[in-house]
Structure formats: C-alpha cells, structure tokens
Amino acid sequence: MIRKRLIVLFLAPASLLYGGLFLLPTLSTFYFSLFNWSGFGQDMTFVGLNNYVRLFNDTVFWLSLRNTLAILFVGGFFVFGLAFLYTVLITSGIWGKKFFRLVFFLPNVVSVVALAGMWAYIYNPRSGLINTTLSTIGLDSMAKTLWTSPNNIFWAMLAALVWVFTGFFLILLMAGVDKIPTDTYEAADLEGASLWQKFWFITVPMLWDVMTISFVIWMINAIKMFEFPYAFGFLQVPQQLYTLGIYLYIMGFGQRDPIYQLGYATAIGVVMLVLTFVLIVVMRRLLRREQLEF
C-alpha cells in the first residue's frame, strides 16, 4: 500500500505537468475549434462543427493534406530506403564507420533555416551547384532544369528534406544493428549468405522494434512538418509547399497578411492530431509481430 502511494507521489508532479502543459491545451484546442475567433480579445462566436465543414470544402486544405501525405509516404519511402541502404553498407565492415555515420548525421545539427538557404543556392537555375555540375560534365540540356519552378518546387523541397532526415534515421537503425549479436552474422557468413540475405533474414527481423518506433517518429514528424518547407519558401511560402502545419500557421497567424482565423486554424490542428493518432494505430497493428528476444 505504502509502495503504491509512493509511486503515485512520485508520478504526481510529472502527471500534473503533462496534464497542464499537454492534455489541457489539447482539449482546449478542440474547444476553440468550435468557435469563430480571431485570437484578439475574448470575442468568440460559437459555430459548432462549421469549421470542420468548411475544412471539408476548402481547396487549400486538401492541397495541404495531399502535400503532407506525399511527405509522409513518398518522403518516408526514400528516407527509409536510403537509411536502410546506408545501414547495410556502413555495417558491412567497410572502413570509417564512425566517419560516415557522422557525415550522414551532420545536417541534423545545422539550423533548418541555414539548410533551406543552402538548398536554395544548390537549386539556383544559373549558378546553383546542380546545374553548374551538370553543365561542367556536358549535360547541357539537363543543366537547364528549373528545380524550383512551380512544377518542381515541392519535389525539390522533398529531396532536400530526405537528405536532412535520412541521417537521423540512419543513426537509429545503426544503433539497433549494433545490438544484434555478431555471431548471428558470422554464422550466416559460414553458410554463404549474401549481403541481401543477411539484411532480409537477420537484420530486418531483429531490428523490427527499432523500425517500428522509427516509423512512428517519422509519421509524427511528417504530419506536423513545418520548419523545413516554411524556411524553403522563406519570404512567402508558395502554395505548392503548403503542409497542414504551414496552412494552420497561415490561417491562425497570417504570416504577411492579417488572416487571424485562430478558430479555423485550431480545427486544422485537431485534424492533424486525429490523423496522427489514426495512422499510428493502423501502422502499429500492421507492424505487430511476436517479440524477438536475443
């Protein structure tokens, strides 16, 4: 009994902080989403579920949702595809494992604004790294590609985003791989297993828990994606780069224009929360496997 009371006592401060700083604001977000509210003063008009009906009929909301899902799935495919590829290569016994791990992780310690600025220079049509390199090696027609034109800017941003995030998930996956007993791989080597077979039959099953948690982290990051596309758009974010997070900000905080529809913006926030929750539940069900102990 005393032990239970002690547990409650120790948990109380954290629970109060968590409840006060996260649960209550989350609940109040849903409450505010039922109002027309500019955020100035206390003048709020109850509109019921109208903000959600309006979202359903809002072209820009659907565009933002589409972009967010493209980041989640297309971006996720490349982030994890590359992270797995590099994990296999770096853990295959090549020289300089720590060096490569550091190089791939480096973008994560640099400010997002600086990274976005750097990519703007890389994509510059005339003097950017990509087009000057293509021109130097004789690919003149490709060197005329306008990477940040309205047709390409989303994919250009996504490519840069994949570059930023791959290193982070590479570190997570490599940490998982480092925990796999080396004798398992040695046994596979003795049996003549190829690199691919070792990856598929040893690494993936024994890395399942790390993979699941990595997917969850990516999913949360992708659905609330804001900083990088916002910084990539810089002075005025083109609509082609709108994510749900950016649209929420534009509608609630205006960026350059006095939009200030905080009630509507919180409705977007609620949709993001529900989307995150549903996708995580679905994904965890799909990825549920028997616990592997080693």
Partner 1 sequence: MRKTVFAFGLGTALSALSFGALAQDQVKLVYWSLWNEPEPGANVVKSLIADYEAAHPGVTIEAVWNGRQNQTTVRNALASGTPIDIMDADMDGLKGGLAGAGELLPWTDDLAGASPDGTGPFADLFYPTLIDMSANDGVSYQIPYMLYAYNILYNAKLFRDAGVTSAPEDWDDFVAALEKVKATGVNAIAIESDIAFYNVKWFNYLLERIAGPDFLLKAVEDKTGETWRDPAVRKALDMELDLWTRGLVPEESRGYQWPAAQQTVAFGETAAELVGSWLPVELADTVEEGFEWGAMRFPAVKGGLGDINHVEVNAFSFGVLKGTKHEAEARDFIKFVVSAPSQQRFADEAKIGVANKSVAWAPEVATARQSLDEASLILPENHGIKALYPDYSTNVYEALHNQAFLGLITPEDYIEQMVSRTKEFWANR
The DSSP letter of residue 75 is: I
- What's the closest the beta carbon of residue 241 comes to partner 1, in angstroms? 9
Taking CB under 8 A as the criterion, the residue among 140, 234, 274, 292 binding partner 1 is 234
83 is an interface residue for partner 1 by CB under 8 A: no
Pairing of strands 35-36, 45-46: antiparallel
Which of positions 13-42 make contact with partner 1 (CB under 8 A)? Answer: 38-41
Residue closer to partner 1, measured from CB, 60 or 103:
60
Instruction: Work out the number of other CB atoms within 10 angstroms of the CB of residue 167.
Output: 22
227 is an interface residue for partner 1 by CB under 8 A: no
Taking CB under 8 A as the criterion, the residue among 238, 276, 280, 287 binding partner 1 is 238
DSSP string covering 110-177, please? S-HHHHHHHHHHHH-TTT-HHHHHHHHTT-TTGGG--TTSTTTHHHHHHHHHHHHHHHHHHHHHHHHH
- What's the closest the beta carbon of residue 151 comes to partner 1, in angstroms? 6
Interatomic CA distance for residues 221 and 237, integer angstroms: 19
Contact 241, 219 (CB under 8 A): no
Which of positions 250-279 make contact with partner 1 (CB under 8 A)? Answer: 250-251, 253-261
148 is an interface residue for partner 1 by CB under 8 A: yes
State which amino acid sits at residue 254.
Answer: G
Instruction: Work out the number of other CB atoms within 10 angstroms of the CB of residue 173.
Output: 23
- What's the closest the beta carbon of residue 59 comes to partner 1, in angstroms? 6
- What's the closest the beta carbon of residue 124 comes to partner 1, in angstroms? 6
Residue that has been written with the tokens 């699941």 in this structure: 212
Interatomic CA distance for residues 171 and 267, integer angstroms: 35
140 is an interface residue for partner 1 by CB under 8 A: no
Taking CB under 8 A as the criterion, the residue among 84, 123, 169, 230 binding partner 1 is 123
- What's the closest the beta carbon of residue 214 comes to partner 1, in angstroms? 32
**Residues found near partner 1 in the complex (CB under 8 A):** 38-41, 43, 54, 57-60, 120, 123-126, 144, 146-153, 233-236, 238-239, 250-251, 253-261
